[in-house]
């Protein structure tokens, strides 16, 4: 089968042409496998799609058009009303996000104590120092004033989690720049819970080049150069 190890980008599927060569053609959205309700996704056109297969297949069919360029995965789950993000809320957002990233690394570290594989040796040694710090906050909902106080007092504990998340996302290609599609996995899973995330990333892009550089990312999270 010529298609066996032939890779097509999202929204396309492999097809064997008349010469027997594998080519990528647009996925027919109607031919996508059926999905459960929890697999539905919301597109930036504010339309609910049965899954990412249907969304990216539709985007591929619209290739070259304005609608195609503007259609992206907005967030996981069916479309719903997302409240407007106020100036005050967007200012508080980095505090919660830093705390959340730190807690994710804590959880990975704890799981690695039983079965390794979540973090590399180098990552584990960095997280160990944070983990062993007695002053760390227990995961949960914290008052903004407490998060701010902890960030100022234990600044060094927040630097690595912010860097780690950037490098987790910077994959296609690894170039110290985050594109819209590289940000999508993080954005799409958080929008329903954190309605300020879209505005936050838009404002992170200081030079408005549609890319978030490592310096821009760190500045957004209050990490010094």
Q: Note the pLDDT tens digit of each residue in 121-165.
A: 888 888 888 887 755 566 667 788 888 888 888 888 899 999 999
| pLDDT score of 140 | 66
- For the chain, the first-to-last Cα distance in angstroms comes to 52
Residues of the chain with CATH 1.10.238.10: 87-221
Total Cβ atoms within 10 A of residue 131: 16
pLDDT tens for 97-130 read 998 998 888 888 888 877 767 888 888 888 888 8
24 within 8 A of 14, measured Cβ to Cβ: yes
- State how far Cα 116 lies from the chain centre: 24
User: How far is 88 from 113, CA to CA, in rounded Å?
Assistant: 39
How many residues are present in the chain? Answer: 225
Residues of the chain with CATH 3.30.60.30: 12-76
Q: Give the CATH number of domain 12-76.
A: 3.30.60.30
Residue 83: which residues within 8 A CB-CB, separation 6 or more?
Answer: 195
Condensed to tens digits (0 to 9), the pLDDT of residues 4-37 reads 889 998 899 999 999 999 999 999 999 999 988 8
**Quick check: bond before 175 cis, omega within 30?**
no
Q: Tell me the range of 110-119, 164-173, 178-187 where mean pLDDT is highest.
A: 164-173
Q: Which residue has the tokens 């004033």?
A: 145
Cα–Cα–Cα angle for 27, 33, 39, rounded to 5 degrees: 105
Average pLDDT score over the chain: 89
Q: What is the pLDDT of residue 154?
A: 85
Q: Which two tokens stand for residue 133?
A: 């710090």
Distances (CA, A) of 132 to 60, 106, 129, 137: 48, 10, 5, 12
Rounded CA Rg of the chain: 20
When pLDDT is cut at 50, 70 and 90, the band that residue 38 belongs to is confident
pLDDT at residue 211 is higher than 90? yes
* Class of the domain covering 87-221: mainly alpha
Dmax over CA atoms of the chain, in Å, equals: 67
What DSSP designation does 89 have?
H
State the average pLDDT over residues 157-176: 92
Predicted confidence at residue 111, as pLDDT, reads: 86
At 152, which helix (H) or strand (E)? helix 144-153
More confidently predicted of 26 and 173? 26
pLDDT for residue 166: 96
pLDDT of amino acid 184: 85
């Amino acid at each position: 089968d010529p298609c066996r190890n032939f890779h097509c980008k999202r929204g396309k599927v492999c097809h064997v042409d008349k010469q027997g060569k594998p080519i990528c053609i647009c996925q027919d959205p109607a031919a996508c496998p059926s999905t459960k309700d929890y697999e539905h996704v919301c597109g930036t056109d504010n339309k609910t799609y049965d899954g990412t297969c249907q969304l990216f297949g539709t985007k591929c069919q619209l290739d070259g058009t304005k609608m195609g360029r503007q259609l992206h995965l907005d967030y996981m789950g069916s479309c719903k009303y997302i409240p407007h993000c106020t100036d005050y809320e967007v200012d508080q957002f980095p505090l919660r996000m830093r705390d959340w990233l730190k807690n994710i690394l804590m959880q990975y570290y704890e799981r690695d104590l039983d079965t390794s594989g979540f973090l590399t040796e180098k990552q584990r040694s960095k997280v160990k120092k944070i983990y062993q710090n007695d002053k760390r906050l227990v995961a949960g909902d914290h008052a903004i004033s407490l998060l701010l106080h902890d960030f100022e007092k234990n600044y060094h504990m927040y630097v690595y989690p912010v860097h780690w998340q950037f490098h987790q996302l910077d994959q296609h290609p690894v170039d110290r720049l985050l594109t819209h599609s590289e940000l999508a996995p993080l954005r799409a899973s958080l929008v329903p819970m954190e309605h300020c995330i879209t505005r936050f990333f838009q404002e992170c892009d200081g030079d408005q080049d549609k890319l978030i550089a490592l310096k821009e990312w760190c500045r957004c999270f209050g990490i010094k150069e």
